[in-house]
Amino acid sequence: MFPSELEPKTMRKLHLRPCFLLLTSMLFSLTIARDTLTPADTLTDGETLVSSGEKFELGFFSPPGSTNKYVGLWYKKVTVQTIVMVLNRQNPINSSTGVLTITNNGSLVISDQNSSRIIWSTPATSLENPVARLLDTGNLVVGEDASVSADNAAWQSFDYPTDTLLPGMKLGWDLRRGLNRNLTAWLSSSDPAIAPYTMAMDIQGDPQIFLWSGSTRTWRTGPWNGLRYSGIPEMQTYSMFTFTYVTNQDEIYYTFNIRDQSIISRLIVNQTGSAQRLVWLNQTGSWNLFWFAPKDQCDSVSPCGPNGVCDPNNSPICDCLQGFVPKSPTNWALRDGTDGCVRKTELDCRNRTDGFVTVAETKLPDTSSATVDMSLSLDDCRTKCLSNCSCTAYASANISGSGSGCITWSTGLTDLRLYTYAGQDLYVRLAAKDLGSTSNGSHNGGASMVAIVVPVVLGTLIITLIGCCLWRRRRRRIRRVARRGTMTFGDLHNIDEHSGKDEVDLPLLDLATIVDATDDFSMENKLGEGGFGPVYKGKLADGKEIGVKRLAKTSVQGCDEFKNEVMLIAKLQHRNLVQLLGCCIQGEERMLVYEYMPNKSLDALLFDKSKAALLDWQTRHRIIMGIARGLLYLHQDSRFRIIHRDLKASNILLDKEMNPKISDFGMARIFGGDETEVNTRKVVGTYGYMSPEYAMDGIFSVKSDVFSFGVLVLEIISGKKNRGIYLSDPKLNLLGHAWNLWKDGNALELVDESLAFAFPMAEVLRCTKVGLLCVQERPEDRPTMSNVVLMLGSESATLPNPRQPGFITARVPLEVDSSSSKQDSVSINEISVTMFEGR
């Protein structure tokens, strides 16, 4: 061939290629990514319909472990095939391949490909141009031409849910068509046929949603109270969802939506009959269990019978309402409460002497036979109830705003339970005699006055006597200690002149001042016991509150060394480090005076279930960020490179605004003597927070602080101690537990229940991941604090995947030298620091 002949050919090819590509891509999109089906075409096995926004895909599938074919719907972008709807769940194709068509009369038909035997079909419609279309909501709609939507559909799959409620889907009744939309579980993971587990709305009385097992009710949501279901208090805090309840002449239904459209979430009834809300996690590629029901013993329907109250935090869980007694005391004593309770005194309706007792924080009793009147106020409701002799209780039907609407019961109150929060008030009618002291207790006032006054007077006398004695002892002591101090050091203020080279001005406080401020180190003022001595609260004469750390007298450090060390600490100035206000050296006494932290230390709040609610997610996040910044300052940004070596919840103090302040840094040198020896010989710190290389080999670096920080982060997220035991595997500590949850894609299960899911999921997951990165086994894998601050602070930073943490078992290796284990057993508050001057 001649080159001249070749050239034009090549050029033509080059011109053609883009056209060809365009054509194939058009063809591709036409054949594969269509979202409609018309009578002119068919959908055979292997082909799919894809919704226009590529959210859902519809086609033939076989469940795992089965060769049967079904037409189903799944998420296009969820990497684990998750079937959310099955058309022919009761009628599988079991012989050959199937085909989905829409007939000219608008009926969807699934048939056997060769025999044309119809396996499943929808009723015929009177459409001119029937078209089936898969919408981006996951709804398969049939209607007139391609503009069909859910509003003008002749048939839609959302009316016939399988086991899944998708956002925008309705659970409940269409009264015009007599349509009861409910969720029914799959028989097994390989068979989508109807199982006896259903989630359905019962519209008798005040409508409620029930879980059913066959014909038995197994769980009840309670009525909708304007904000949420009465029996799902946590619903209120799910800020990522909007829940809607609609009731009118035509429809009564419940539906939900997700604020952030990129989040994928569904509500299902699973194969063992529980309701679960799952959220897809991109990061881990798995479904996370966000909520489920039933949860506890009180969630089963009416464990305590009529007029009984179930409280899961009590033992036994059943109790009778005020004014009621067990119907069969023998059964009740055997902890079978299902017979319930009966009135002590019959109501006395005619004389109008009955009253009401308020039961707070309840899940309203079963409203199947209750009467609702939305037009009444709560006061009218009370009047209505009093005026009808069969009324036994009333409550507000809509607690949104100031409360409105009226529910009245005329039967026994069944399935009543208590919550610790977000329950609602129920007013139970009682005979005047049973109303008792709660509403009217003046008759026994005389006796109770005596009961109160006598102990108070006695107590005051005793306290005064003790106070006098203590005061005398304190005065004597001050004189004694001060005398000795003067002998040893002479004029305290001379010390300043020895090393007066530096500009830091740290006040030296007089011992007598501190003795006065702390009331002679009285027990009442003692805040805690640290490894190097007790900590006291004090109040200076000018009213300023201080924290005083009184160092143990075993110190061998000289005065100048101590002072230099104190000066060093005093130079550390950061809003996340506790501020040293001064010190006191007198005689054998050495004391450090800090700013006072009214919210005490983090552990006091975090691990106390009754207080953990004070730490909402925003606060926890702020604390994590604060600690990270404080630590970064110690590691990098201060004039020295400081390794804290004993970072832990009890060393994080909280100020008035709950800002974290790292405390107890800079102590090791006071006691340690030669710092190079401290590094290797004496491992100080706290088990559970120590990195493996430090606890085992005594090697410490900034990365050992990073490890402790990671433990702290996981503790803050979970509200649990690293050294706690986990039911799922008692051999694991928090790190192991967190790691397992993370690996299995259940990271959100780690989060403290007291947060009640009121948190931004992405932020919590980010913090968890950072925490796990920090506790990795190998120090070199752990990020530096500057990286940590970056990763925590930026939503766009990509985080590497954590590897297995060090120390995931509950037991700490025994190779730790004895000096440290002794210290650990003596005190929970070891402290130590080593400072490298310069770099």
- What string marks each residue from 123 to 162 as x (binds ligand NAG by CB under 6 A) or -? -x--------------------------------------
Chain centroid to Cα 700, Å, comes to 34
Tell whether residue 107 is a contact of ligand NAG (CB under 6 A).
yes
Question: Of the candidates 62, 95, 236, 345, which one interacts with ligand NAG according to CB under 6 A?
Answer: 95
> Binding-site residue total for ligand NAG (CB under 6 A)?
45
CB of 189 to ligand NAG, least distance (A): 8
Using CB under 6 A as the binding rule, whether residue 94 contacts ligand NAG is answered as: yes
DSSP string, 53-65: TS-EEEEEE--TT
Closest CA to 228 of 242, 217, 212: 242
Local structure of 798: helix, strand or coil? coil
Query: Does residue 390 interact with ligand NAG by CB under 6 A?
Result: yes
Report in angstroms how near the CB of residue 536 gets to ligand NAG at its nearest: 48
159 is catalytic: no
Q: DSSP letter string over 278-297?
A: EEEETTTTEEEEEEEE--SG
Q: CA-CA distances (angstroms) from residue 412 to 302, 365, 407, 771?
A: 12, 9, 14, 52
CB of 274 to ligand NAG, least distance (A): 3
Instruction: Label the pairing between strands 416-418 and 308-310.
Output: parallel
Position 348 contacts ligand NAG (CB under 6 A): yes
Applying CB under 6 A, the span of 87-95, 607-615, 779-787, 825-833 interacting with ligand NAG comes to 87-95
Q: Which of residues 291-310 bind ligand NAG (CB under 6 A)?
A: 292
Choice from 147, 249, 272, 438 touching ligand NAG (CB under 6 A)? 272
| CA nearest neighbour of 735 among 646, 784, 800, 806 | 806
Best CA proximity match to 344, nearest among 428, 430, 439: 430
Nearer to ligand NAG, 26 or 289 (CB): 289
Token pair recorded at residue 515: 């003795």
**Location of structure tokens 């001249």:** 4
Q: Judged by CB under 6 A, does residue 271 bind ligand NAG?
A: yes
66 lines the binding site for ligand NAG (CB under 6 A): no
User: Which CB, 117 or 575, lies closer to ligand NAG?
Assistant: 117
- For the stretch 755-758, contacts whose Cβ atoms lie closer than 8 Å and that sit 24 or more positions apart, written own/partner, are 755/616, 755/617, 755/620, 755/719, 756/234, 756/237, 756/421, 757/234, 757/237, 757/238, 757/290, 757/291, 758/237, 758/238, 758/239, 758/616, 758/617
SS3 string, 113-143, reads CCCCCEEEECCCCCCCCEEEEECCCCCEEEE
Rounded least distance, CB 234 to ligand NAG, Å: 14
Closer Cβ to ligand NAG, 388 or 728, answer by number: 388
Is 276 near ligand NAG (CB under 6 A)?
yes
> What minimum distance in Å lies between the beta carbon of 15 and ligand NAG?
36
Which residues inside 680-739 make contact with ligand NAG, applying CB under 6 A?
A: none
Q: Hey, what are 685's tokens?
A: 């710190």
CB 150 within 8 A of CB 103: no
Choose between 293 and 831: whose C-beta lies nearer to ligand NAG: 293
Residues 769, 210: Cα–Cα separation, whole Å:
37
Q: What is the dihedral of CA 371, 376, 382, 384, to 10 degrees?
A: -60
Is 105 or 149 the residue whose CB approaches ligand NAG more closely? 105
Q: Smallest gap, in angstroms, from Cβ of residue 690 to ligand NAG?
A: 35
Backbone angles phi, psi at 422, to 5 degrees: 55, 25
State which of positions 182-241 bind ligand NAG (CB under 6 A). Answer: 182, 198, 200, 212, 226
Binding residues for ligand NAG restricted to 513-552, rule: CB under 6 A:
none
> Catalytic residue among 646, 664, 705, 824, which?
646
244 lines the binding site for ligand NAG (CB under 6 A): no
Work out which of 29, 114, 244, 794 binds ligand NAG, going by CB under 6 A: 114
N-term to C-term CA, the chain: 74
- For the annotated catalytic residues, the residue numbers are 646
Q: Footprint of ligand NAG on this chain (CB under 6 A)?
A: 77, 91, 94-96, 103-105, 107, 114-115, 124, 180, 182, 198, 200, 212, 226, 262-263, 270-272, 274, 276, 282, 289, 292, 348, 350-351, 353, 371, 374, 388, 390-391, 398, 400-401, 404, 410, 432, 439-440
